[in-house]
Amino acid sequence: MISCGCFGGTTFHGLALAPSICRSPSMFSPLRTLTLTFAATNPHHRLLSRVLFPTIVRAFSSTALPTAPITKQEGKAAAKPQWKAAIDFKWIRDNKDVVAANIKNRNSNANLDLVLELYEKFLNLQKEVERLRAERNVVANKMKGKLEPSVRQALVEEGKNLKEGLVSLEEDLVQLTDQLRQEAQCLPNITHPDVPIGGEESSIIRKMVRSPWEFNFNIKDHLELGKDLDLFDFDAAAEVSGSKFYYLKNEAVLLEMGLINWAIAEVSKRGYIPLITPEIVRSSVVEKCGFQPRGQNTQVYSIENNDQCLIGTAEIPVGGIHMDSILPDSALPLKYVAYSHCFRTEAGAAGTATRGLYRVHQFSKVEMFIFCRPEESNLYHEELIAIEEDLFSSLGLHFKTLDMATGDLGAPAYRKFDVEAWMPGLGRYGEISSASNCTDYQSRRLGIRYRPSSDTPATSKKGKGSNLAPTQFVHTLNATACAVPRMIICLLENFQQEDGAVVIPEPLRPYMGGLNVISPKAKTSQ
């Protein structure tokens, strides 16, 4: 996942840091703050085709929450959000060895021992609360008949003491429940059994496309090309905004717009609904998608004295579009292709590997996102990586697709494929895209379920007949169709010519007003 957007006026706020609750690694670190205002469009939904696929292993399971027709809860208070993920603690306790191994393989700092300790305390406290409630009911029932005044007074005193004790224990139970859920929400998703175990170096190449372009002249990197062709201005942007910002100029503007329109057009042909997303979201939505918006290692820009953040990827607002909803089975899969700007602090990033456009604080991105049935998510993961490979291959790029190892997976990902393209000017491969299957990790936090269609009536636990099947959590997937700055690097460096010009790949030309070549500017005489 890499991200994009449209914006208008800009307001600036001060820097603010807040402690992180979870310590597990995430893509998102130190906070600078600014806000953007923009207009968003929402196209009409379309019902898309269904494909069945075997059910995959799920990290956590739980009973369905209360159901309703496709509904969205609105008008919630803007106070500090207290959200709850639907986590099955019994499953975690019964499979603690599996969970512990998964945490170790993914280099997560989640504290399983603390989760299990809190869960045991929760069970014991819950039993005590239920015992006192039962005793209070017994006392209340005894007071219904005719009693001697002394007996009634004794029961009143006993009921009063039970009530006071119960209030205190219930308050402790609420606090313990919140602490338990906060710790459990730090646990990473379970991992696909075929994912290689180890650090990034253990990742496996799935596919290699084309061979590197050969040059019979001294090649330049994108910074040299950009300077010679008058495409970028990093110096002015540094004065205006700080390091890792940039101005695009002349044909580079056409190139960015062309890449965005080309990517959206190509993905839309495959049945994906175009979106332009909000670029400011609530911190709770960032958390529900599996990222940590505040803390020492976050990549998220947070707004001071506010519960909102700038998005680091369109995955976040698209993931939240059906938050707290029950989707009809006939609506699945829901496929979106979203454009937004993305904002990342890139804390700790330095050195030649991050020069120029490779790692910046603001960039445009086109993101694909799918909501689907659990048994279909592996299939749609393959669909997403196939789309990425088709897009990049059509531009004539040399790239490899990787099955990323456990140590490189973010907390939400069950499995992740990365695409790394050859950047000859930089002399190395660089990540230009990724595709992640997050199974039900995000939907359990976002509250996104669907009601399977059923030919036979379902029976509830209470024995009442019902024509409604129990709801299930959808699976979510995301993938990058086009991360603009890194695509610009690839295009400039791979298609440079000996005379300093850059040839535009044929698929992009209709989206750039028919421009075929970016030519060196004629030097004006003094």
Say if 23 falls within a structural domain. Answer: no
Same domain as 250, residue 132: no
Sequence-ordered list of residues with C-beta below 8 angstroms from that of 18, at least 6 positions apart, any chain: 31, 294, 295, 302
170 is in an annotated binding site: no
Say if 327 falls within a structural domain. Answer: yes
Whole-number pLDDT of residue 413: 97
Contact in structure between 348 and 12 (CB atoms under 8 Å): no
Q: What is the pLDDT of residues 81-119, one digit of tens each?
A: 356 778 889 999 999 999 999 999 999 999 999 999 999
Say if 218 falls within a structural domain. Answer: yes
Domain of 403, CATH number, reads 3.30.930.10
**With the C-alpha atoms ordered 279, 283, 286, 292, is the resulting torsion angle positive or negative?**
positive
Say if 414 falls within a structural domain. Answer: yes
Mean of pLDDT values over 342-370: 85
What number of other Cβ atoms are within 10 A of residue 3's Cβ? 29
Same domain as 261, residue 154: no
Same domain as 353, residue 235: yes
Same domain as 280, residue 224: yes
Same domain as 376, residue 233: yes
Whether pLDDT at 35 is above 60? no
Q: Which domain-ending residue is among 142, 159, 185?
A: 185
Q: What is the pLDDT of residues 220-249, one digit of tens each?
A: 999 999 999 999 999 999 999 999 999 999
Do the bridges between strand 273-276 and strand 334-343 make them parallel or antiparallel, or are there none, so unpaired? parallel
Whole-number pLDDT of residue 25: 37
Whether pLDDT at 526 is above 80? no
434 is in an annotated binding site: yes
Whole-number pLDDT of residue 210: 95
Q: Which domain-ending residue is among 140, 160, 185?
A: 185
Whole-number pLDDT of residue 134: 85
**The model's pTM:** 0.80
Same domain as 399, residue 508: yes
Same domain as 219, residue 162: no
Whole-number pLDDT of residue 87: 87
Same domain as 152, residue 282: no
Whether pLDDT at 202 is above 80? yes
433 is in an annotated binding site: yes
Which range among 184-188, 334-338, 464-468 has the greatest average pLDDT? Answer: 334-338
Same domain as 383, residue 328: yes
* Structure-block tokens of residue 124: 């014991």
Say if 76 falls within a structural domain. Answer: no
108 is in an annotated binding site: no
Domains contained in the chain, number: 2
122 is in an annotated binding site: no
Say if 21 falls within a structural domain. Answer: no
Say if 135 falls within a structural domain. Answer: yes
362 is in an annotated binding site: yes
- Nearest Cα to 346, choosing from 297, 389, 390? 297
Rg of the chain, C-alpha, whole Å: 27
Domain of 150, CATH number, reads 1.10.287.40
Q: What is the pLDDT of residues 395-425, one digit of tens each?
A: 999 999 999 999 999 999 999 999 999 999 9
Say if 44 falls within a structural domain. Answer: no
106 is in an annotated binding site: no
Q: Which domain-ending residue is among 143, 162, 185?
A: 185
Q: Convert 205-254 into a string of H (helix), E (strand) and C (coil).
A: EEEEECCCCCCCCCCCCHHHHHHHHCCEEHHHHHHHCCCCCCEECCHHHH
Interior CA angle at 353 toward 402 and 497, to 5°? 85
360 is in an annotated binding site: yes
Whether pLDDT at 32 is above 60? no
363 is in an annotated binding site: yes
Residue range of the domain that includes 141:
89-185
Same domain as 302, residue 246: yes
Whether pLDDT at 23 is above 50? no
478 is in an annotated binding site: yes
Same domain as 156, residue 257: no
Q: What is the pLDDT of residues 44-95, one digit of tens each?
A: 333 333 333 333 233 333 333 233 333 333 333 333 435 677 888 999 999 9
Confidence class for position 353, pLDDT limits 50, 70, 90: low
Same domain as 223, residue 138: no
The whole-angstrom separation of Cα 234 and Cα 239 is 9
